[in-house]
Amino acid sequence: MRRSLVIAASIVLIVVVSFRWWLPGEHSSRTAINLPDTRFDYTLTDYQARFHDAQGQPELSVAGPRLEHDAATRIVSLIDPRFAIPATGGRWQGQASRGRFTRDQELLELMDNVTITRDQPDGRLTIATEALQHLRPARTISADVPVALTRPGTDLTAGGLMIHLDNETVELSNDVQLQARPAARARRSDRAGSRR
């Protein structure tokens, strides 16, 4: 009798488990967990950003009235950016009408009315162009469009430019033209231009 009781209890248990499985329950209504989307667009006004190298030394600062981040492309657009790039013999600083910072490639692209200057013992060097790129890991500033360089006594134009920040070299390419004036006359004309 005891054996028939164990068999009957086992059969009842199997029927209950099978019936429970057959009924709709939690196992059929499970839904996939949706994680929140962490990508987002944002806009900053009156921003200032500083970037440092692996040794903690400053290598770029950017500021301006408006910054916009697009989550889909992960590109930061800059309106009227001002920037400064430290170099061995001094720092380059400048401005542009527009800029774009691609975070993954660490590339700062500057567009429209770009000017970059550097004060030197013999006067200020100014570079004007319509597009300029600063590649942070390579420590270069480059342009593959026409550029105009001016400093007291010298005016240069070229079709392209490459500045190596670490060894202080400037390479000009494509139709380089030079106009030189005597230094005394250049200082007088530069002073007259600054009084206007």
pLDDT tens profile 146-189: 999 998 888 889 999 998 988 888 888 888 888 887 755 545 55
The string of pLDDT tens digits covering residues 68-98 is: 888 888 888 999 999 998 877 778 899 999 9
Residue 38 pLDDT: 43
The Cα-based distances of 68 to 2, 28, 47, 96, 140 in angstroms read: 80, 45, 11, 16, 25
Residue 140 above 60 pLDDT?
yes
Residue 25 above 60 pLDDT?
no
Tokens of 21: 């499985």
Residue 145 pLDDT: 94
Residue 189 pLDDT: 52
Q: Distance (Å, rounded) from C-alpha 13 to C-alpha 35?
A: 39
Task: Identify the residue with better confidence: 55 or 35.
Answer: 55
- Tell me the pLDDT of the chain averaged across its residues: 79
Q: What is the mean pLDDT of residues 110-132?
A: 91
CB 65 within 8 A of CB 48: no
Superfamily covering domain 42-195? Lipopolysaccharide (LPS) transport protein A like domain (2.60.450.10)
Greatest CA separation found in the chain? 125
Tokens of 72: 């889909």
Q: Which residues of 8-30 are buried (b: 16+ CB within 10 A; e: fewer)?
A: eeeeeeeeeeeeeeeeeeeeeee
CB 147 within 8 A of CB 128: yes
pLDDT above 70 as % of the chain:
71
Ordered by start, the domain boundaries in the chain are 42-195
Residue 7 pLDDT: 67
